[in-house]
Amino acid sequence: MARRILASLTMLSGLLASSGGSRAWAQATSPSPPAGQGLHSLFVASGKLFFGTATDTNNINDVPYQAIATNQSEFGMIVPENSQKWEAVQPTLRQFVYNNSDVVASRAKANRQLFRCHTLTWHSQLPQFVSTTSWTRATLTAAIQAHIANVVGHFKGQCYSWDVVNEALADNGTFRNDVFLQTLGTDYLGISFTAAAAADPDTKLYYNDFNLETIKAKADGAVAIVKILQSANVRIDGVGFQAHFNVGQTPNKTSLVATMERFTSLGLDVTLSELDIAHTKLPATPSALEQQSRDYVSAVDACLAVPKCVGITVWQFTDKYSWIPSTFPGKGDACLFTANYTKKPAYFAVSNLLVQAAAAQVQAGGTSAPASASPTAITAKGLGNFLLPLVGNGFGMFLI
């Protein structure tokens, strides 16, 4: 059986190469993945840990939405968009509310999905008391520590990772002049990460930000954050690249890889933590949809090329619940599914890329991510099952 699968994969690789290059194949007319094998299953088969989506309780009663969001083959990780943020879980001092965030955590557990937790120390979506209190160094330090101890402690053992500090930088690479910096200087970074590590020693601790991929000064600032923490012997495990891009303005694979490797060279994991690629003019033209497909492939392919890029999370999978139109009027349609839950060309381009990457992983003698990382991990032996049948480009294949 294994010999026949490997022979078939060899034939597949030859066909892929003859269609114009390994990554170009994902954008050309090409075989689509068989039904039932989603992005997460394919990404794990390619050697990664997860392909996930943001979600929350505002769509809990949307049955078609939940059928996709809870499909662990499609999305092996979920992250709450808003329900773990400071204003949501501690709206008033020392009063913690977990109703909504517990619902999302329970969904992840019930569907055997990883759960990424988001976020702890952030300048936005703060309760009024944080913004208006006249803090001293001692009182704000105590408030951060108490908040993190309670929230991280509440979810202890449930979170694959925490976005500990979020968006601390302005685009020019300097620190945002928020309440945390004004009172504590950059010491709030170490205070936050130390408190999170104490509350759950087993969770991964991340810094998360946008435009790190496109503005060198901001990436420089994030490197400085990592070095501040590491020089103080404070644990940081990874950096999340939010990857909010515009169609036709997405960094190419080479650029993205180089930026991510600045952080992996410091011993960190990286992720594309909030990926979406928005059209700046609507409705999108057929050529714009093709460009969106190329842009998604560039982003996903960059993660595939960086060994310590452990996964990708899209910031909602459907345009129906995307944050972009309300925040940036005139922009939108940034997700892999339409508002009616139809898969877009970009979805199929990414899927085809991952079919190829999974085949290459098996041919190279690699293995998938550890089975403990995901209930949908696909081993080399099982790879034949999701290539049954693979039909396209005028050829067909059936493995038994």
Q: Which active-site residues does the annotation give?
A: 167, 274
Give the span between the Cα atoms of 236 and 260, in whole angstroms: 15
Q: How many residues does the chain have?
A: 400
Nearest residue to 177 (alpha-carbon basis) of 187, 165, 185, 166: 185
> Are the C-beta atoms of 281 and 289 separated by less than 8 Å?
no
> Are the C-beta atoms of 110 and 60 separated by less than 8 Å?
no
Number of H helices, E strands in the chain: 15, 11
3-class DSSP assignment, residue 20:
coil
Residue whose tokens read 């990554």: 23
Nearest residue to 327 (alpha-carbon basis) of 336, 338, 343, 315: 315
**C-alpha separations of 73 from 45, 50, 164 in Å:** 11, 10, 28
> Are the C-beta atoms of 278 and 327 separated by less than 8 Å?
no
Sign of CA dihedral 172, 174, 179, 182: negative
Give the span between the Cα atoms of 160 and 146, in whole angstroms: 21
Look up residue 191 and give its amino acid: I
Between strands 244-246 and 161-166, the pairing is: unpaired
